[in-house]
Amino acid sequence: MINLTIIFHLEEPIKRINLFNSVFQYFSLNLNGIKIILGEFAKENQIKNEKQFLEKEDFWNKSEKKEIKNFLEKDQISRLQEWVLARSMIKYGIGYMFKDQIKIPFNNITIESDKRNKPKLKIKSKNIENKIKKECEEIVISISHSNKMIYVALTSNQIGIDCEDIHLFSEKFREKFVKNDEFNQLKSTMNIQISNSRDIFDTIIWCIKESTLKIIRDAKLANISQVKIEIRDQKIISSYPSINYEFVNFINIKNDSILVLTFIENKVAI
């Protein structure tokens, strides 16, 4: 039987935003005692006029405007849309999280990369007290794109997210990341009895391993075949050799897509 503790559902959104003639929405989640704000955008709402990105003068800072112009000059429209939408979701999400404390101007919110190339918030304003600025900059961000969806997760805990459209993996590629014992454990635990269940479980396994690697975020440890998955204590646990943490995973299946959220579960001896 499927265990509901490893599945999460996206109920009624807490907020919808209309921006650039498109709509994205936010959900409030509490998984494993961790609070998350999750932004979602369906790519079926594609933006038709990319030049309008530059029209919101008070939304972007100078470096972001330069980046948008660079995308436009190189005609990298698909990358531009993903870049803009992910950052827009982050800015509005941060605004929502801190709405009871202070109104943060959007062009004061910058998304940079840390030394492990993970997205990191930077608040560039002299009018925000240091305590709130510190709280804001400690928010952890994880971003994922698929052909159909874009997701952004914001939380105070380490998190990795990965989304993927459900599809058939080639046998050669499948051998690199799917282990029979992992596949069988998931299948027997979740008990999804439909015709394309192999596609679903392969995609779930891929997303779990990808989101686990996003937390580790170490180029030397980027071998997806080394991530191990097991069912234990009614949870999906992932791990990586030489990493002294285990990770717990939660799954959402929606509109022919898989979304996995991964958190650090506990520290283990190695």
Domain identity same for 104 and 11: yes
Domain final residue pick, 126, 157, 188: 157
Domain identity same for 13 and 77: yes
Residue 125 has what pLDDT?
80
Residue 136 has what pLDDT?
93
Residue 21 has what pLDDT?
74
What angle do the packed helices 77-97 and 62-73 form, to 10 degrees? 160
- pLDDT, tens only, 32-74: 889 999 999 987 766 666 677 777 778 898 899 999 899 888 8
Q: What DSSP character marks residue 94?
A: H
Residue 209 has what pLDDT?
96
Domain final residue pick, 104, 122, 157: 157
DSSP, collapsed to helix, strand or coil, labels residue 64 as helix
What backbone phi and psi angles, to 5 degrees, belong to 211?
-70, -30
pLDDT along the chain (270 residues), means of 10: 69 90 90 92 72 78 90 87 92 93 89 84 85 92 93 95 94 90 86 70 95 83 89 91 91 91 73
Q: What angle do CA 89, 86, 71 make, to 5 degrees?
A: 135
Residue 267 has what pLDDT?
59
Domain final residue pick, 157, 188, 213: 157
